[in-house]
Amino acid sequence: MAVETHPGTLRVAIVDDEAPARALLREYLAAFPDVEVVAECANGFEAVQAVEETAPALLLLDIQMPGLSGFEVLELLGREVAVVFVTAYDEFALRAFDVHAVDYLMKPFSRERLGEALGRARQRIGRPREAGLDAVAAAARPAGAWPARLLAREGGRVHVIPVDALDVVEARDDYVCLRSGGREVTKQQTLTELAAQLDPARFVRVHRSFIVNVAKIARIERYGKDSRLAVLHDGTKVPVSRAGYASLRLLL
């Protein structure tokens, strides 16, 4: 349960896989009487849960962590939160600002430099993050690379789905349903946003409501005069529009 916070207090969550780094941040933050540390997390999975349970206004977030990267944590958050990235790797700087981080602290940094970041965070808090999920996901990987996995959060659980194992994606209003090996996981994202994250040489939007992994298609069947179905190796049947069939023909 979150501790009652005085008005004007900045609620902060620390996320870093290295205990000494977390300890140093906590020590520095203790010098700011208007800051309250509401969570301390050793990995991205803990961070996603902590944001949901403690509702911090600011994340001090490491980028390169085992399990989930800092960028992937942002993709999974269910609420708006200001972010200051804290990392030892400067190659992530431009990608950090691509997702509109408040600031970017290079390790090692001083208490005074952290104070500057806290000041910027106060100015940012309350303003929605400008980057959408597709931009966050794009920032999580090197330029020109396609993701090897997709992430989805359902309640307090985080699902990690290897792209190679993905069979079909189906649009459901503002959600998508990811189907893999007979299992279904929902993700709050549009089909258009997700399509932009997937390699077009491997995944085809065969219908306004469906994306299919081409490697999972066993055959294409006619269904009526101008309609077709993609039959997957597991027997799943997916409708294929005329435009979708034209795209498939280029790859099959």
Percentage, residues of the chain above pLDDT 90: 56
For the chain, what is the radius of gyration of the CA atoms? 21
The average pLDDT across 94-114 equals 83
pLDDT in tens, 125-153: 876 555 555 565 566 566 667 888 898 88
Tokens describing residue 5: 């916070």
Instruction: Spell out the alpha helix ranges (H) of the chain.
Output: 19-29, 44-54, 70-76, 93-98, 111-124, 133-139, 191-195, 242-249
Residue 55 above 70 pLDDT? yes
- Asked if the 10-139 domain carries CATH number 3.30.470.20, the reply is no
Q: In this predicted structure, what is the pLDDT of residue 140? A: 58
The CATH number of 149-249 is which of 2.40.50.140, 2.40.50.1020, 2.40.10.230, 3.20.20.70?
Answer: 2.40.50.1020
Domain boundaries, the chain: 10-139, 149-249
Residue 3 above 50 pLDDT? no
Q: Are 214 and 203 in contact (CB under 8 A)?
A: yes
Q: How many Cα atoms occupy the beta-carbon half-sphere of 186 within 13 Å?
A: 8
The average pLDDT across 70-77 equals 86
